[in-house]
A and B are shown apart, each in its own frame.
Chain A
Amino acid sequence: MATMNNIPHLQRRSAMTEISTNWLRCTRCGSRQLKQQVQLADGRYYCPDCLLLGRICADDYLVDLAEPNDFPRKVQPLTWTGKLTEAQKTAATMIQQHFIQRQDHLLWAVTGAGKTEMLFPGIAWALKQGLRVGIASPRVDVCLELMPRLQVAFADTPIMLLHGRQNEPYQYTQLVLCTTHQLLRFYHAFDVLIIDEVDAFPYAQNPQLAFATQQAVKIDGARLFLTATPSRLLLQQVRQGNLALSYLPRRYHGYPLPQPKVRLCFKWQQQLRQRRLPNLLQHLLTTKISQQQRFLLFVPRIELLSVIAPILWEQFPDLKFAVVHAADSQRLVKVQQMRQKYLDCLVTTTILERGVTFPGIDVIVLGADDAVFSAAALVQMAGRVGRSAAQPTGAVDFICAGLSRGVKCACQQIKQVNRKAGFK
């Protein structure tokens, strides 16, 4: 406490506030806690929801320093030499406009629209103004992929990368790249905060993280949400006028999103259990393999991977494929092998639904009607196809035992976006 008083401008907030006789609210993560469930043996209360950042108790204090924006002014922070397409340029100016007006903004851009590059002019403007910029994504993989691209684009600006497994000590930098969980550590810190893939797990399901983005940005700061599949909640905010919306319905190479083909196959689960492939899948795979078409096969659950892999070995001994799931230690290696075309096929779960790009692949989703595949996930998986300018088309097949809301919604969304882009 003595040292705390020596630092000027230090602001203190109580770590938990009482909202009623029985309930407490955590100031750091915004969660509501029932007192009797979170009481320690010595009578204090703690917040179990943001425990991984270090436990805080009700009698603790959160301290923060006001952000002074004392950054050295740069004349030209952007060292990126690439070019934006016309559509990207329009979106980029729109982004910058909203940054200048300090408004919250939702950019609905299709998968493969070239979102990252569109951010560069806006970020460059903010850096030039001496504003503090944060870029957050729900997924570590996305952050790790983004880091080198940002380092090239803003070569003279130090960037701090923050995620749960980061061992480097924290440094105060003007540009911060982090996972959305790390935003819980910031309070009114950023003038401009960009949240990538707002529809991705765990951000979409977690009100704590939405709270984090609200806390991390300054009161007069601007937030930019990027997504290919906005949630109902975000669209509701747009309708209420709290959030500006702009579209980028066209991919950077100008081709439409591939429309998924829904194929009904009623007994695929039983057939797999009997150790044989459903005819439909068998047929699809045979054609793809004979055309030497590389593809991703998504399945709804990890257990299915070990069922389907031996059948594939048996039926297609020449097919070079690998099985990838979240707990796989070889995940990065296998993805790299697929990228370098050592493999023809990856059999995987939703873990590869976003953030990965393989040129010239097709996508098959087995059991697309399963509850784990949300509409957003299906749109993302379909969005893996035709991402490169060299091979801008491809086939997406949803194999399902029935039409779920997710499948219908995903097909509708893709159709709608394509129509907006002026196709058909």
Chain B
Amino acid sequence: MNCLLCQQSFSQALTLADLLYWRPLLTERICSHCQRKLQPITIACPECGRAQNKCEYCRDCQRWLRTQPDQELHNHALFVYNAVLQDFFKRYKSLGDYRLRQAFNADCQRWFRQHPADVYIPIPTDTDSYTRRGFNPVVGLYAPCVPLTNCLKKRPQPIKQAHKKRQARLRTPQLFYFTGDAAQLSGKRILLLDDIYTTGRTMRHAQACLKMAVPNCQVNTFTLAR
């Protein structure tokens, strides 16, 4: 199999545990060489999942807690958003190489197995991006791992988040609205899924939108990169 990131051919090394556990084998799509360039997050800010030396609120989250003390977020991110991942997202989202959606399936699946939730909700894209790309990058990343429930919609945006400066991103008003069945979600553990956590604006809007629609649910969030 060829590594999705560097295109070199490689073969997956099986561990004894892989053989002994009676469950489907996770196929790696990234070679060990590229795997080593990724920085998995172990110790992180409990709020946003940023990699840190100590488990305490990072500066961004302290500011969030000051402005919105009643909205707590519990985000987990798998990897630091480093050069390798930037390149990955450029090829996946900007150039539109849909094959790359499988690159992190094994890593995500492993985490979802350890931290199960009742409902998985992906962050939606607006229709413009969808017609241009031909796919929703978030759905592409997570659809093979867990069953997704699409119950959020995004209002059309004049400028994309990625093209804004930090302050402009933070000023963005609520951009989601709820379209699903609130009764079905009530009392459930919900995991919101996105690809990258940058300022936290998107995630907090999505979480607030869900909480408005379904008051008694527990919402955690998950991103591939922070």
Contacts and interface: CB of A to CB of B under 8 A. Distances in A.
Interface of A: 37-42, 44, 46, 48, 51-52, 54-55, 57
A46 B135 CA distance: 12
Contacts of B139: 41
B135 A41 contact: yes
B95 A40 contact: no
26 contacts: A37-B99, A39-B98, A40-B96, A40-B98, A40-B133, A40-B134, A40-B135, A41-B98, A41-B135, A41-B136, A41-B139, A41-B140, A42-B131, A42-B134, A42-B135, A44-B134, A46-B96, A48-B99, A51-B91, A51-B96, A51-B97, A54-B95, A55-B95, A55-B96, A55-B97, A57-B134
| Residues of B in contact with A, size category | 10 to 19
Across the A-B interface, the 8 shortest Cβ-Cβ residue pairs: A40-B134, A41-B135, A55-B96, A42-B134, A40-B135, A40-B98, A51-B95, A44-B134
Interface in B123-158: 130-131, 133-136, 139-140
Contacts of A39: 98
Contacts of B136: 41
Given A41-B139, A41-B140, A52 B95 contact: yes
A45 B158 CA distance: 28
B43 to A, nearest CB: 30
Q: Is the interface of A mostly helix, strand, loop or mixed?
A: loop
A37 B2 CA distance: 14
Nearest to A37: B99
Contacts of A52: 95
Contacts of A38: 98-99
Contact of A46 (B91, B98, B131): B98
A41 B135 CA distance: 5
Interface of B: 91, 95-99, 130-131, 133-136, 139-140
Given A38-B98, A41-B134, A44-B134, 20 more contacts: A37-B99, A38-B99, A39-B98, A40-B96, A40-B98, A40-B133, A40-B135, A41-B98, A41-B136, A41-B140, A42-B131, A42-B135, A48-B99, A51-B91, A51-B96, A52-B95, A54-B95, A55-B95, A55-B97, A57-B134
B95 A46 contact: no
A57 B135 CA distance: 13
A57 B97 CA distance: 11
A40 B137 CA distance: 11
Nearest to A53: B95
From B95, B131, B139, name the one whose CB has the most chain A CB atoms within 10 angstroms.
B95
Nearest to B95: A51
A202 to B, nearest CB: 11
Contacts of A55: 95-97
Contacts of A44: 134
From A40, A41, A52, A55, name the one whose CB has the most chain B CB atoms within 10 angstroms.
A41
Contacts of B91: 51
A55 B96 CA distance: 7
B196 to A, nearest CB: 19
B94 to A, nearest CB: 10
A39 B98 CA distance: 8
A57 B96 CA distance: 11
Contacts of A42: 130-131, 134-135
Given A41-B139, A41-B140, A48 B134 contact: no
